[in-house]
Amino acid sequence: MFFVRIRNYESRLSWVQRISPFCRLKVSRYGRLNLDYNIQIEAGSDIQVHENGVLHIGSRTYMNRYCMISVQNAVSIGDNCMFGPGVKIFDNNHCFSAQSGVSSELKTAPISIGNNCWIASDVVLLKGTVVGNNCVIGAGCVISGNIPDGTLVTQKKELQLKKIIDRV
């Protein structure tokens, strides 16, 4: 493990990482990034740790292509996790109202993902989410809230099939 200090922030990184040169990794002033041993992040991924945010990624975690993590508060990912392509993690969202619309002010809440989790393709994890250990989150799910240890989460989406009727 070694520490890196760049422009007023300090990050803890282990020596062995496999981070694609074609991913974006941005840590703002006072943000902290902690990467444990043997993490792999594929091309097209976008990881942003904003002011005072803290991101921890556990050992042997794999992020497939085009994953995005936006940290304003805190995101913690356990050991031995796998992320499918296009996973999005946001510990923040914009405040809004009917009178003034969307503002630049943010609401935040930490996100925690346990050990040995599989987060399948195109999953979105929203602020305040806690995923327990040994969980599988199925493709396309939008998650907010607590997911207990050892849970398989799927989202029921029904296909509607209709006969095409030629119209003249």
Q: Which of 99, 94, 36, 93 is nearest to 62 (CA)?
A: 36
Q: What is the pLDDT of residues 76-110, one digit of tens each?
A: 999 999 999 999 999 999 988 888 888 899 999 99
Structure tokens at 7: 């422009």
Is residue 161, in this structure, part of any structural domain at all? no
> Tokens 């356990």, residue?
78
Q: How far apart are CA 84 and CA 122, in angstroms?
A: 7
Is residue 67, in this structure, part of any structural domain at all? yes
Is residue 117, in this structure, part of any structural domain at all? yes
Residue 49 is predicted with a pLDDT of 96
Domain housing 149: 2-153
Q: How far apart are CA 37 and CA 52, in angstroms?
A: 23
Q: What is the CATH number of the domain that holds 85?
A: 2.160.10.10
pLDDT > 50? residue 71: yes
Binning pLDDT at 50, 70 and 90, where does residue 15 land? Answer: low
Kindly report the pTM of this predicted structure: 0.86
Is residue 167, in this structure, part of any structural domain at all? no
Q: How many domains does the chain have?
A: 1
Residue 11 is predicted with a pLDDT of 60
3-state SS track over 71-140: ECCEEEECCCCEECCCCEEECEEEEEECCCEEEEEEEECCEEECCCCEECCCCEECCCCEECCCCEECCC
pLDDT > 80? residue 65: yes
Is residue 93, in this structure, part of any structural domain at all? yes
Q: What is the pLDDT of residues 155-167, one digit of tens each?
A: 988 888 888 887 7
Q: Which of 35, 31, 44 is nearest to 17 (CA)?
A: 35
pLDDT > 60? residue 135: yes
Residue 16 is predicted with a pLDDT of 59
